[in-house]
Chains A and B, each alone.
Chain A
């Protein structure tokens, strides 16, 4: 064997384990979801016989359609609030914290909660938002309300709050990264030429940070699309999302129906991701 062909083979051997992991635990499972979504369900297990019933039952059920719409609502609201918060935080860190040491420390402060348990982070809202929680105690003591406010916890408000709390890091990190890459000379040049602060932001900073916004948005969309834990814990059983629907269907072993829902969920997610990628070119960022 020549040295060159060994080099080529070596490369493929090196990349094989990682590829194998994703073929086994990502590609194969998704292919199986697709396949099973056309199978039948006989009341207690799935049967490999072709049917379109799973899909027709989704589109004809107003409950399911409403569940999908409800999920989109969570996606949009979470995206909106994480974008605003994430951008302001990243902007502050990138342009207003001049000392590099402090920049790293404050960025780590934003990052650390991401490495802790989501479940615990959600539980921790109970003493704050609950019926006898801190917010209600405060409101009653101030005389602003007579009765405790009920919708603070176990509501759509709580679900969106929980998601913003859990996922803001996914917006902050890519936006911070793209803001840090902006050549500071560009900004100085714009100011020298008489641009106002707002003009500099609109003409230079915003377009150059668009790839970061796009990457953050893709993360938020995909994270919230399949959400069921936050919906379950912060929504308290009343609210519905597609992820939760899938989870319930698996609980009653209706794999084909769950699979059909998953396929539609995946398609919608891919369309949204493609849409984002059409608007913004993120390749330079990778």
Chain B
């Protein structure tokens, strides 16, 4: 191993500053959300309490937080589930060459590359022309899928690339049907990765804003509700809400990383 050079320390210092840049502001609002009832929007901190965290759950000027949260939770779970089903099926198909594979691949990737505002505008126009009303569970659902499915699909391709076909060939040689081979051999092997995709799809949907913003209809998802609050809330309740929803995201990511690590380790044994 080389001796640690000056470059190492310079780059390490830069990396440290970068992490501060990433997390510092977020840490700031965590701290400010723990102020006493007289607290304001800026430092220094005035008092210490859980007052503002509690305020989030009260029905008040701040707007309602519980219902949008439940909506986003439900939508996120549905999106995560659909993303898995769709991308696993497509991933299975992509293990063999077929005509049109390139077209499907580029179609999927292009969904990440089209500016989000076009998705929102386009779906809005389609619903308008068809005289349908936009809602978070119809047009919103479609918009979220255009964001989560490409990620799920790319991960599935990666998983099946590394997949050893010997196991399932053995199963087929023993006379198992395709469906049986999938449930008995393939599914258990890809399960840890599926769990990862599930959480990923969930958090992407849970925090999605741009694609839904123009087409959520009457009822807001949580990010839209928070966005609405930014213009008229001037108390730390906003920070408290930010803290709670960020902690929720962190918890989900933590669970995903932990569970993935465990399952992958168990499989290796």
> With the chains together, A133 CA to B227 CA distance in Å?
21
| Interface segment out of the listed B56-64, B121-129, B162-170, B183-191 | B121-129
> With the chains together, A164 CA to B66 CA distance in Å?
31
Does residue A175 face the partner (Cβ distance < 8 Å to B)?
Answer: no
Q: Decide if the interface of chain B is mainly helix, strand, loop or mixed.
A: helix
Instruction: Select which of A15, A28, A98, A110 is within 8 A of B126 by beta carbon.
Output: A28
Also in contact, A29 and B43, with CB within 8 A (given A222-B114, A228-B210, A233-B230):
no
Chain A residues numbered 232-273 whose CB sits less than 8 Å from any CB in chain B: 233, 243, 246-247, 250, 255, 258-259, 262, 265-266, 269, 273
Among B15, B43, B85, B118, find the residue whose CB has the most chain A CB atoms closer than 10 A.
Answer: B118
- Closest A-chain residue to B115, C-beta based? A226
**Chain A: interface residue total (CB-CB under 8 A):** 81
In the assembled complex, which residues on chain B have CB atoms less than 8 Å from the CB atom of A113? 22-23, 26
B190 to nearest A CB, angstroms?
15
> With the chains together, A222 CA to B93 CA distance in Å?
29
Chain A residues numbered 60-96 whose CB sits less than 8 Å from any CB in chain B: 85, 88-89, 91-93, 96
In the assembled complex, which residues on chain B have CB atoms less than 8 Å from the CB atom of A93? 15
> With the chains together, A133 CA to B28 CA distance in Å?
11
Q: Is the CB of A30 within 8 A of B122?
A: yes
Among A108, A124, A130, A134, find the residue whose CB has the most chain B CB atoms closer than 10 A.
Answer: A124
Q: Decide if the interface of chain A is mainly helix, strand, loop or mixed.
A: helix
Contact pattern, B 17-56, Cβ under 8 Å of A = 1, otherwise 0? 0110111111011001000000001110000000000000
Does residue B203 face the partner (Cβ distance < 8 Å to A)?
Answer: yes
Q: Is the CB of B117 within 8 A of A226?
A: yes
> With the chains together, A262 CA to B11 CA distance in Å?
41
Contact pattern, B 234-247, Cβ under 8 Å of A = 1, otherwise 0? 00001100100110
> With the chains together, A24 CA to B152 CA distance in Å?
18
> With the chains together, A139 CA to B117 CA distance in Å?
38
> With the chains together, A114 CA to B108 CA distance in Å?
21
In the assembled complex, which residues on chain A have CB atoms less than 8 Å from the CB atom of B92? 14
Instruction: Select which of A98, A115, A133 is within 8 A of B1 by beta carbon.
Output: A98
Q: Is the CB of B42 within 8 A of A29?
A: no
- Closest B-chain residue to A251, C-beta based? B214
Q: Is the CB of A11 within 8 A of B96?
A: yes
Q: Is the CB of A25 within 8 A of B14?
A: no
> With the chains together, A250 CA to B107 CA distance in Å?
27
In the assembled complex, which residues on chain A have CB atoms less than 8 Å from the CB atom of B230? 119, 123, 233
Q: Is the CB of B22 within 8 A of A110?
A: yes
Q: Is the CB of B12 within 8 A of A229?
A: no
Q: Is the CB of A127 within 8 A of B41?
A: yes
> With the chains together, A119 CA to B230 CA distance in Å?
9
Binding site for A on B (CB under 8 A): 1, 7-8, 11-12, 14-15, 18-19, 21-26, 28-29, 32, 41-43, 85-87, 89-90, 92-94, 96, 98, 100, 104, 107-108, 110-119, 121-126, 128-129, 142-143, 145-146, 149, 153, 178, 200, 203-204, 206-207, 209-210, 213-214, 223, 226-227, 230, 238-239, 242, 245-246, 249-250, 252-253, 257
The 5 sampled A-B contact pairs (Cβ below 8 Å) are A12-B100, A17-B89, A96-B7, A123-B242, A133-B42
Binding site for B on A (CB under 8 A): 7-8, 10-12, 14-15, 17-19, 21-30, 32-33, 36, 46, 85, 88-89, 91-93, 96, 98, 106, 108-110, 112-113, 115-121, 123-128, 130, 132-134, 137, 165, 168, 197, 218-219, 222-223, 225-229, 233, 243, 246-247, 250, 255, 258-259, 262, 265-266, 269, 273
